[in-house]
Every structure is written in C-alpha cells, then in structure tokens.
Amino acid sequence: MILKKRLSTTGYYVVSAAIAVVSMIPFLWMISTSLKTQGAVMTVPIQWIPEEPTLQAYVDVFTTFSFARTVANSLFIAVTYTGVTLLSSSMAAFAFTKIHFRGNDLLLKVYLATMMIPTQVTMIPLFVVMNRLGLINSYSSVIMPSLFRPFAVFMLVQQMRTIPQDFLDAARIDGANTFQVFRKVALPMCKPTLATLMVTTFMESWNDYLWPLLMLTDRSKMTLPIALATLTGQYNPQYALLMAGSLISMIPIIIIYIMAQRSFQYGMMAGGIKG
C-alpha cells in the first residue's frame, strides 16, 4: 500500500515536471531567438543555445521607434483600466449583495447574463458610442469599457456573500455610513478576490490588441501590442527584434503576479466555488 502510494506520488511529479518542461519550450525559444543575430535566427536546425549571443536586439527595440513611449502608454492604460474595474465592480457587488432593494436579484441575473454576449458583437455599438461622444483617439475610449465588467462583479459577489452581515451591522452601529462600511469592512475582506482580479484584468488590458487598434489612430498613443505588430510588418523577418520586444512586454505582468501570488490561488477558489 505504501509502495503504491509512493509510486503514485512519483508518477504525479514526473508527469507534472514533463508538462512544465513542455510549457517552457516556447518561452525558452523566445529567449534564445532574442539573443541571436539575424543569420542565426534562420539557421536550420534550430540553435537552442546561440553560438554568438548578442543583446543587439534589445538595443534596437528602443532605437527603432519610440518603444519606451508605447510601454508608458500601455502601462497607463492597463493601470487605469484595472483600477476602474476593481472600484466599479466592487461597488456594484456590494450594492447587489449588501444593499437590499426591490428587484436586485433579477437585476443581478440580467447583468451577469451579459457575459454570454461575445465581445465582438458589442464592438461596433461601442465604436459608434465612442464616436458620438468624440472620444476616438483618446485614452478614455480604451478605458471606459472597464466600467462594465460582469465577470469581475460575479467574482466579487461570490466573495461578498460570505461576509457576515453582523460585521456590517456592527460598523453601522459605530456610526459608519454606507460608503465607510464598504471601504473599511467589505473591501478588506475581499482582498484575495481583488488580487486575483487585479492580475487577470491587468493582463487582459496589457495584452489587448484589437480595441486599442480601433480606438487609437495616433502613433504616439499606440500601445505595446500594436507596436509589436508593426515590427512584424515593417521589419519582417527580424524575429530577434520581435522576441526581444515580447520578452520586455512580459516584465510588468510577471511583477504583478509575484506581488499578488499569495492571494491569487485563494481568490480564484473563493470566487469560483462559494455562493
């Protein structure tokens, strides 16, 4: 029995390690390609370890065009988008779960049902709305959709339903108003879910390509995914340059995940199975 359990555990770790190695292959190929010269990139068979490694591709990324400006644009949009999403979604979830009003359950169901509508279906209406508001080619047009995030509301609703009503009532007895109860009691108890949403929302906004491409027509305002796409068209087939830019674009996401990794797993579980 003990031997069988040990073999099962060993097999689990072996399979997990094999999956991890296979998953890392594309990432290792990106690193290898970014350190190669143009001639070495096209060599067959693939050189996993460059014979003459160079950092020239990383230098060229910043000198080819205003790469630093595109990084700043993406960082501003992603941070603002994430902040607006967390604030608006947490306030909506608090209202749906802790402020009882007529028809709130029905309204919540209708609101969450919009998750079944494909994003592509809403792009043309959203474009028309932004055009009528005169927001085309502005950061606001890219950030404003963050006000309506049904999935984020769904995650936070599940978490806020686990908050005992006694905690909120005690705060009200002490003289706290509704907003103070929300800020000082509800939000601190939703930190794991908020951390999860922060990582996923930031990642989604940082990597978004289509919506910023439709909204931002000025090259000085383009985001990092759009800039990387122009590398493929203008400097094809300089894959080393593209891989270097892609690796640099991963740094903010890695930093955000490291900062929130302790709460990430618990937040996913809390938002997915409770309620």
Rounded to an integer, what distance in angstroms lies between the CA atom of residue 228 and that of residue 213? 12
Which pLDDT score is estimated for 236?
Answer: 59
Which pLDDT score is estimated for 63?
Answer: 78
Reported as a single tens digit per residue, the pLDDT across 79-98 is 999 999 999 999 999 999 88
Residues 91 and 46 in one domain: no
Q: Where are the alpha helices (DSSP H) in 144-190?
A: 150-160, 165-173, 178-181
Residues 69 and 5 in one domain: no
What DSSP string describes 60-129? HHHHHS-HHHHHHHHHHHHHHHHHHHHHHHHHHHHHHHHS--TTHHHHHHHHHHGGGS-HHHHHHHHHHH
Answer yes or no: is 60 within a domain.
no
* Structural domain harbouring 148: 65-273
Answer yes or no: is 29 within a domain.
yes
CB of 202 closer than 8 Å to CB of 224: no
Answer yes or no: is 176 within a domain.
yes
Residues 91 and 176 in one domain: yes
CB of 205 closer than 8 Å to CB of 215: no
Residues 93 and 41 in one domain: no
Residues 84 and 36 in one domain: no
Q: pTM for this structure?
A: 0.81
Residues 177 and 91 in one domain: yes
C-alpha distances (whole Å) from 85 to each of 90, 91, 157 are: 8, 10, 14
Which pLDDT score is estimated for 255?
Answer: 84
pLDDT at 52 exceeding the cut of 50: yes
Residues 151 and 207 in one domain: yes
Helix, strand, coil % over all residues of the chain, rounded to 5:
80, 0, 20
State residue 122 phi and psi, 5-degree precision: -90, -5
Return mean pLDDT, the chain: 83
33, 17, 78, 16: which is closest to 206 by C-alpha? 78
Answer yes or no: is 182 within a domain.
yes
Residues 46 and 77 in one domain: no
Which pLDDT score is estimated for 269?
Answer: 54
- Of the three residues 10, 28, 54, the one that is the final residue of a domain is 54
Which pLDDT score is estimated for 82?
Answer: 93
Residues 150 and 98 in one domain: yes
More confident residue, 71 or 264: 71
Lowest mean pLDDT among 3-17, 83-97, 226-240: 226-240
182, 156, 154, 151: which is closest to 168 by C-alpha? 182
Answer yes or no: is 2 within a domain.
yes
Residues 79 and 124 in one domain: yes
Sign of CA dihedral 193, 195, 198, 203: negative
State residue 53 phi and psi, 5-degree precision: -65, 145
Please state the rounded mean pLDDT for residues 95-117: 87
pLDDT at 273 exceeding the cut of 60: no
Residues 70 and 126 in one domain: yes
Domain CATH code at residue 176: 1.10.3720.10
**Overall number of domains in the chain:** 2
- Which residue in this structure is represented by tokens 């969450």? 112
Token pair recorded at residue 13: 């770790």
Please state the rounded mean pLDDT for residues 242-268: 75
Answer yes or no: is 116 within a domain.
yes
Please state the rounded mean pLDDT for residues 212-224: 88
Lowest mean pLDDT among 94-108, 144-158, 227-241: 227-241
Answer yes or no: is 36 within a domain.
yes
Answer yes or no: is 232 within a domain.
yes
pLDDT at 271 exceeding the cut of 70: no
Residues 104 and 211 in one domain: yes
* Nearest-10 crossing angle of helices 239-273, 67-98: 10
pLDDT at 23 exceeding the cut of 60: yes
